[in-house]
Structure 1
Amino acid sequence: MTELSRQASRIWTELDFDAVGKQVGYLRLPLAVYDRSGDDVGYNYEPIPIVTIRNGEGPGVLLMAGNHGNEYEGQIILMNLIRTLRTEDIRGRLIILPAANAPAVRADRRISPLDDGNLNRQFPGDAEGGPTSMIAHLIESELLPRVDYAFDLHSGSLSLEYLPCAVIARPPQPDRLEGAVSLLRVFGMPIGMVVEHSTGGDGALIGACRRQGVQHLSTELGAGGTVSHSAVEMAQHGLVRLLHHVGVTTRVLTDRAPSECRLLHRVPARQYVYADTSERGLFEPLVGLGDEVAAEQIVGRIHFTTTPWREPEPVVAKTGGIVLCRRIPARTGRGDCVFVLGRDGQLP
């Protein structure tokens, strides 16, 4: 346990995290202690919805969505689950945060409007920090120590469209890899992605899970500021299968079998496909999600609206792979990532 995690959280709640039964309520994030919150804050708090269900002995699971506020599929999935689950369905402990970064969810933004905080970069957090850091601190110091698993549901938001998938980071302990891969197979999305590390590093939830000895799985679902019905449906069935697989539910809440899961490795960031033009233009993709591309293949073109007679510049893949996600905004310039690739491969 870090020195920060020993601090007492300034977020309070009427819920008893260890009480038996189903509880619904709020974590109350105080705003008066943070001097950038606005002129009308006074002694206000930000309500963060939370549900706990505890019944007998068994594993503990934390379910999260709204880590980024404008990623919607996970929020809908967890709200559906909250309304469905009863105390007798649970064996052990379930904690559900359907809007983990509640200020970002309320503002319909990826990051918090209170402090521009990206919750998935703030762990382990600080009880005396800004609002986002305070939320991260409570999750790592109060919630993760009570669970064995954390399932965090993400989507592509406004900037990226993903091939819907479940994601694990390769565990630091080789003997835990097989168990982590089994979570992907039970979740049963058509694509299961194994990454070498989280994009957010130790400041992401996966970093917090590793510090607390908690097994982690996340998703990438949908994109474009809307909700993908097919992604919600696939992931909703997958999540209830997963909850039964780890032993926290007493019955299987779906009769749908998992899809065969194709395991892919995300290529290193230096092998993503980037725009490399000094002038911003309109990106025209020439390949789509799930397509196989080859090294040196032209996968897109950038058109220049200020000089429409100019030939478009080609965007070239430096390496081969399968298109896992693509950039959504068409206006594109040097340094913008337009495609992320994955590859099949044997797990060592």
Structure 2
Amino acid sequence: MKVQTRIWTPIDFNRDGKFVDCLRVPYSSDRSAYGWIPIPIVSIRNGDGPTAVLIAGNHGDEYEGQIALMNLARELKQDDVAGRVIIIPSLNYPAVKAGRRVSPLDEGNLNRMFPGKALGSPTEMIAHYVSDVLLPMADLAVDLHSGGFSFDHMVCALIRPGRNSEETKQLLELVQVFGAPASFISNGDGGGGATTLNAVSRELGVPTITTELGGGATLSPLGLRVAEEGVRRLLKHMGITPAIVVPPSGGSELMEIPGRDYAIYADCEGLFQPAANIGDDVHEEQIAGSLHSLDNPNQPPLQLRFPRAGRVLCRRFPSLTSRGDCLFELMRAVERKE
């Protein structure tokens, strides 16, 4: 028997109007036996039409998307919409409040917990609600991410291949409409595999755009602008906000990450000294950086080299590094078939 979500909200998503409230995630603690955790949400509906589900704060230390969706939520009125827009600027609200990637309640990494569990931990319940309630209503989903505390990340959009060629063609069109400087196709091998929001969306047949908009747990002006304009273009393209004013897309360079050998991982602890920046084009065996030993100041630093040629997609942000930390990830341009 299918278990229903335990999360509830006063908002009726099928009711016309603009409504601002929150999702209520049940949570029992020492100080609140029958309490709940709020997740702010805005629902704007105006008659029949497509539905867009717009999400940020999937990870709590990623800010460009959160601000972009807050600005959009304040701007949009019911008369601007033909269909429905559901906006959640801080999906993993406990992590957002704590300024952390993961939830302080259960150490849950939300974008590694989809499709979630109806009777699980708070983070699992949030993932289940998105998978079981929100995404089935959606004709478009946008999940705005950044590099967070641990990465400096090139501003880009990403998609997964669709379930068939028509779905992939639609997704490729949508990333061009979104208009990030670069976009890449990912099967999820370098991240959450089948446990991300994007992976669940694919299985449901919901076209979904994910982003990386900066990093270092700070705010990238470029990333914020790309998020604000890109989301507005998608809404206009889908006919959901037909009269919204937004600059046209300049297109997006299509990239790919061919495999794990396009990344560099630390094989020991130390202080990381990078020798390349995000967006740099690098060649195979080019010096990528050094790792300095914490225990032996007389020991020469371990020299790192890029295993492949490509463009730097992301770079570790903190200098203090442990074995297994990702230091660089590269991407390369997709070869065009004649």
Which TM-score band applies after superposition, normalised by the shorter structure? over 0.9
Q: Which runs of 4+ in 1 moved over 3 A?
A: none
Question: What residue identity is the alignment partner of 2:7?
Answer: I
Task: Quote the Cα distance in structure 2 between the aligned partners of 1:145 and 1:313.
Answer: 50
SS in 1 for 2:145: strand
Residues 111 and 192, structure 2, Cα contact 8 Å, conserved in 1: yes
2:6 maps to 1:10: yes
Aligned match of 1:224: 216
Task: Quote the Cα distance in structure 2 between the aligned partners of 1:274 and 1:119.
Answer: 23
Question: What residue identity is the alignment partner of 2:127?
Answer: A
Aligned match of 1:315: 304
How many equivalent residue pairs?
A: 336
2:59 maps to 1:63: no
Aligned match of 1:180: 171
- Aligned match of 1:332 in 298, 311, 321? 321
2:98 maps to 1:107: yes
2:69 maps to 1:78: yes
Compare 239-248 and 150-159 and name the one that shifted more: 239-248
> TM-score, structure 1 length as denominator?
0.92
Aligned match of 1:196: 187
Aligned match of 1:133: 124
SS in 2 for 1:156: coil
Residues 57 and 91, structure 1, Cα contact 8 Å, conserved in 2: yes
Task: Quote the Cα distance in structure 1 between the aligned partners of 2:333 and 2:62.
Answer: 27
Go from structure 1 to structure 2 and tell me whether the alpha carbon gap of 1:334 and 1:122 turns closer, same or farther (over 3 Å shift).
closer
Counterparts in 2 of 1:1-348, with a 5 A limit?
6-32=2-28, 38-197=29-188, 199-254=191-246, 256-276=247-267, 278=268, 280-346=269-335
Compare 303-312 and 165-174 and name the one that shifted more: 303-312
> How big is the alpha-carbon RMSD for the aligned residues of Structure 1 and Structure 2?
1.5
Task: State the Cα distance separating 1:203 from its structure 2 match.
Answer: 1.5
Deviations 1:248-285 (A, max 9, x none): 1121332x232331111023123311223x4x221111
Task: Quote the Cα distance in structure 1 between the aligned partners of 2:296 and 2:108.
Answer: 39
Task: Quote the Cα distance in structure 2 between the aligned partners of 1:283 and 1:13.
Answer: 46
Question: What residue identity is the alignment partner of 1:317?
Answer: F
> TM-score, structure 2 length as denominator?
0.95
Residues 51 and 82, structure 1, Cα contact 8 Å, conserved in 2: yes
Runs of 5+ unmatched residues, structure 1? 33-37
Residues 159 and 210, structure 2, Cα contact 8 Å, conserved in 1: yes
SS in 1 for 2:30: coil
Aligned match of 1:35: none
Task: State the Cα distance separating 1:305 from its structure 2 match.
Answer: 4.1
Residues 151 and 216, structure 2, Cα contact 8 Å, conserved in 1: yes
SS in 2 for 1:22: strand
Task: State the Cα distance separating 1:167 from its structure 2 match.
Answer: 0.9
Question: What residue identity is the alignment partner of 1:7?
Answer: V
Task: Quote the Cα distance in structure 1 between the aligned partners of 2:193 and 2:322.
Answer: 26
Go from structure 1 to structure 2 and tell me whether the alpha carbon gap of 1:207 and 1:344 turns closer, same or farther (over 3 Å shift).
same
Residues 301 and 312, structure 1, Cα contact 8 Å, conserved in 2: yes
Runs of 5+ unmatched residues, structure 2? none
Go from structure 1 to structure 2 and tell me whether the alpha carbon gap of 1:251 and 1:67 turns closer, same or farther (over 3 Å shift).
same
Question: What residue identity is the alignment partner of 1:47?
Answer: P
Residues 188 and 194, structure 2, Cα contact 8 Å, conserved in 1: no
Task: Quote the Cα distance in structure 1 between the aligned partners of 2:308 and 2:234.
Answer: 34
Task: State the Cα distance separating 1:101 from its structure 2 match.
Answer: 1.0
Identity of aligned residues (%): 44
Go from structure 1 to structure 2 and tell me whether the alpha carbon gap of 1:191 and 1:88 turns closer, same or farther (over 3 Å shift).
same
Task: State the Cα distance separating 1:151 from its structure 2 match.
Answer: 0.3
Task: State the Cα distance separating 1:192 from its structure 2 match.
Answer: 1.1
Residues 267 and 341, structure 1, Cα contact 8 Å, conserved in 2: no
Task: Quote the Cα distance in structure 1 between the aligned partners of 2:154 and 2:164.
Answer: 28
